[in-house]
Amino acid sequence: MSVAVTIETIEKRFENFPALRGVSLDIQPGELVALLGPSGSGKTTLLRLIAGLEQADRGRVLFGETDTHDLSLRERRIGFVFQHYALFKTMNVADNIAFGPRSRPHRERAGESEIRKRVSELLELVQLQGLEKRYPSQLSGGQRQRVALARALAIEPRVLLLDEPFGALDARVRKDLRGWLRELHGRTGHTTVFVTHDQEEALELADRVAILNDGRIEQVGSADDVYDHPATPFVCEFLGEANKLPVKVVGSQAFFGDRPVLGGITQNQGGPASLYVRPQHLRIVDETPLALPGTVEHLRRNGPLRRAEVAVEGLKKRLDVDLASQVAPAIGERVRLRITHGNLFAAA
Partner 1 sequence: MSDVTAPFVPAAPARRSSARGESLSVRIALISVSLAFLLLFLALPLASVFVEAGAKGWEAYRAAITEPDAQAAIRLTLLVAAIAVPFNIVVGIAAAWAIAKFEFRGKNLLISMIDLPFSVSPVISGLVFVLLFGAQGYFGPWLQAHDIKIIFALPGLILATIFVTFPFVARELIPHMQSLGTADEEAALTLGASPWRVFFRVTLPNVKWSLFYGVLLCNARAMGEFGAVAVVSGKIRGLTNTMPLHIEILYNEYMGAAAFAVASLLAGLALVTLALKTLLEWRFGDEIAASRRH
Q: Using CB under 8 A, which of the segments 71-79, 123-131, 209-217, 258-266 binds partner 1?
A: 71-79
Q: Does 63 bind partner 1 (CB under 8 A)?
A: no
Nearer to partner 1, 155 or 173 (CB): 155
Long-range contacts formed by 18-21: CB under 8 A, 24+ apart: 18/215, 19/45, 19/215, 20/45, 20/46, 20/49, 20/56, 20/215, 20/216, 21/214, 21/215, 21/216
Residues 6+ apart with CB under 8 A from 190: 1, 2, 30, 79, 153, 157, 159, 160
Reference 279, options 308, 299, 254; nearest CA is: 308
Q: Does 13 bind partner 1 (CB under 8 A)?
A: no
DSSP state of 108: G
Tell me the helices (H) and strands (E) count for the chain, helix number first: 9, 20
Q: Does 235 bind partner 1 (CB under 8 A)?
A: no
Q: Does 12 bind partner 1 (CB under 8 A)?
A: no
* Contacting residue, 4, 53, 125, 290, with partner 1 by CB under 8 A: 53
Burial 297-315 (b: 16+ CB within 10 A, else e): eeeeeeeeebbbbbebeeb
* Contacting residue, 69, 84, 117, 301, with partner 1 by CB under 8 A: 84
Nearer to partner 1, 78 or 277 (CB): 78
Q: Does 82 bind partner 1 (CB under 8 A)?
A: yes
279: helix, strand or coil: helix
Q: Using CB under 8 A, which of the segments 21-29, 87-95, 213-221, 269-277 binds partner 1?
A: 87-95
Q: Does 290 bind partner 1 (CB under 8 A)?
A: no
* Contacting residue, 16, 39, 113, 137, with partner 1 by CB under 8 A: 137
Q: What binding mask, one character per residue, do residues 96-115 give for partner 1 by CB under 8 A, x or -?
A: ---xx--xx-----------
Beta strands in the chain (DSSP E): 5-14, 17-27, 32-36, 58-63, 66-67, 78-81, 159-163, 191-196, 208-213, 216-221, 243-250, 253-256, 259-262, 271-277, 282-285, 292-302, 305-311, 319-322, 334-339, 343-346
Nearer to partner 1, 298 or 341 (CB): 298
Q: What binding mask, one character per residue, do residues 142-171 give for partner 1 by CB under 8 A, x or -?
A: ---------xx-xx----------------
Please give the size of the binding site for partner 1, defined by CB under 8 A.
28
Q: Does 80 bind partner 1 (CB under 8 A)?
A: yes
Q: Does 78 bind partner 1 (CB under 8 A)?
A: yes
Q: Does 305 bind partner 1 (CB under 8 A)?
A: no
> Which stretches of the chain bind partner 1, using CB under 8 A?
51-53, 73-74, 76-80, 82, 84, 86-91, 99-100, 103-104, 135, 137, 151-152, 154-155
